[in-house]
Amino acid sequence: MAITPHGGTLINRLLTGDALAAARKKAGHLPSITVDAYTAFDIDGIAKGLFSPLTGFMGEAETRAVLDTMHLRPGIPWTIPILLDVSREQAARLEVGAEVALQDDTGDVVAILHLAEKFSLDRAALCEKVYQTTDESHPGVNYTMSLGDVFLAGELDVLKAREIEFQEYNLTPVETRAAFESRGWKRIVAFQTRNPIHRAHEYLTKCALEICDGLLIHPLMGTTKSDDIPGDVRMKCYTVLIDQYYPKDHVMLSLMPVNMRYAGPKEAIMHAIIRKNYGCTHFIVGRDHAGVGNFYGTYDAQRIFDRFDPEEIGITPLFFEHAFYSKRTQSMASPKTCPGTNEDHVFLSGTKVREMLKRGEMPPPEFTRPEVARILIAWAQENGE
């Protein structure tokens, strides 16, 4: 039996048929606001059930419950508010109880908001509770502090799903659940990534696959930092790695069109909940999951799971320590499985790899597969990295 979605029901706010036609006609006569790409991805996440049980943007009571208790309501863990911001001037034009057309960053009307509430929050306090910092060098804090002064809450009727690059891999939770069922997979482990998969990540996923029927490689493809490796380059790396180094019957590649918030521990919980909605039963949580810079401790994203009842989370986290190549055993390993000292262990940082790529040097096989390294070298040289 498939895993139950978060909150018990897989949400679908996408209109179809006569309801869609009527909404499109009505939207042209409604007051409207334009949202950025970040908010447009959140609308899409609500529409397709990635954020189940949310049916729209959160109100003040739910938001404060999330910030103070890490729950939407009793028994429903949630750690990051999903909010719609506007300026005071925009908010003054909108009446509670009215409907509002939402235009995305491309100018398309993508949703109608049933405006139930307008409220304000202290943005610095919001940052402190979500990101555990108010330092604006943190990308999540920087974005949050730029938000408008008023937040709008209410259910959404969504007129259009957001299409992204490599749309054929952008499966909805309904579609991934159907794919798992067709493959006969009962235990499915998800792997979150926003980078090319290197040897340590490959090791973690294959360890997890030993106790599961299938592996969902599920890269995040919403908004990310400007210095993250572009999505098209990452997709080339994922596909060549899967083709060459994974068993076809036990691995599947799909995209997760969700913003990267870089919220560390709080985001690890959200990433687990979202994968539960996609139908996964297990979720890999590695070193500094969803972290950035030095804002979070190495294993804070694993420890936060201890603060929840496992029955509430409803998906099994798999915790892994920092993996490395062991010269002594000539294999990938972790401190749990490998004897020896740090002198025997090969760790390569992203900075060192970028320096190698810039010089046109092939990262060693202890770090990445040669097929992946060639893709990264070509990208780095083309872009002057």
Tell me: the pLDDT tens digits for 358-378?
788 888 888 899 999 999 988
Determine the 3-state secondary structure of 157 from DSSP: strand
What band does 227 get if pLDDT is binned at 50, 70 and 90?
Answer: low
Q: Which among 43, 34, 10 is positioned nearest to 258, based on CA atoms?
A: 43
Q: Domain holding 279: CATH number?
A: 3.40.50.620
Q: Domain holding 150: CATH number?
A: 3.10.400.10
pLDDT for residue 225: 65
Q: Is residue 1 part of a domain?
A: no
Q: Taking 70 as the threshold, does the pLDDT of residue 224 lie above it?
A: no
Q: Is residue 264 part of a domain?
A: yes
Q: Taking 80 as the threshold, does the pLDDT of residue 74 lie above it?
A: yes
Q: Which among 66, 38, 83, 116 is positioned nearest to 273, based on CA atoms?
A: 66
376 and 345: one domain? yes
117 and 193: one domain? no
Does the predicted model carry a pTM greater than 0.85?
Answer: yes
Phi, psi (rounded to 5 degrees) for 56: -175, -165
Q: Strand 282-285 relative to strand 316-319: parallel, antiparallel, unpaired? A: parallel
Pair 78, 273: CB distance under 8 Å: yes
User: Other C-beta atoms within 10 Å of 192: how many?
Assistant: 24
Pair 291, 301: CB distance under 8 Å: yes
- What is the average per-residue pLDDT within 226-243? 88
What band does 383 get if pLDDT is binned at 50, 70 and 90?
Answer: confident
pLDDT for residue 282: 98
Q: Which of 134, 158, 182 is the last residue of a domain?
A: 158
Q: How many domains does the chain have?
A: 2
Q: Which among 113, 232, 114, 87 is positioned nearest to 167, based on CA atoms?
A: 232
172 and 55: one domain? no
pLDDT for residue 328: 86
135 and 277: one domain? no
Q: Which among 120, 281, 156, 272 is positioned nearest to 214, based on CA atoms?
A: 281
Q: Is residue 27 part of a domain?
A: yes
Domain span at 341: 167-256+260-382
Q: Taking 80 as the threshold, does the pLDDT of residue 228 lie above it?
A: no
247 and 342: one domain? yes
Which active-site residues does the annotation give? 194-195
252 and 330: one domain? yes
Residue 47 C-beta-side C-alpha neighbours within 13 Å: 23
Please give the mean pLDDT across all residues of the chain: 94
d(CA 180, CA 279): 8
Residue 256 gets which letter from DSSP?
A: B
Q: What is the pLDDT of residues 312-343, one digit of tens each?
A: 999 999 999 988 889 888 899 998 888 767 77
Could you tell me how many helices (H) and strands (E) the chain has, helices first? Answer: 14, 16
75 and 222: one domain? no
Q: Which residue has the higher pLDDT, 362 or 211?
A: 211
d(CA 27, CA 162): 18
Q: Which of 158, 187, 214 is the last residue of a domain?
A: 158
Place of tokens 């235990």: 187
Q: Strand 109-119 relative to strand 150-158: parallel, antiparallel, unpaired? A: antiparallel
Q: Which of 133, 158, 183 is the last residue of a domain?
A: 158
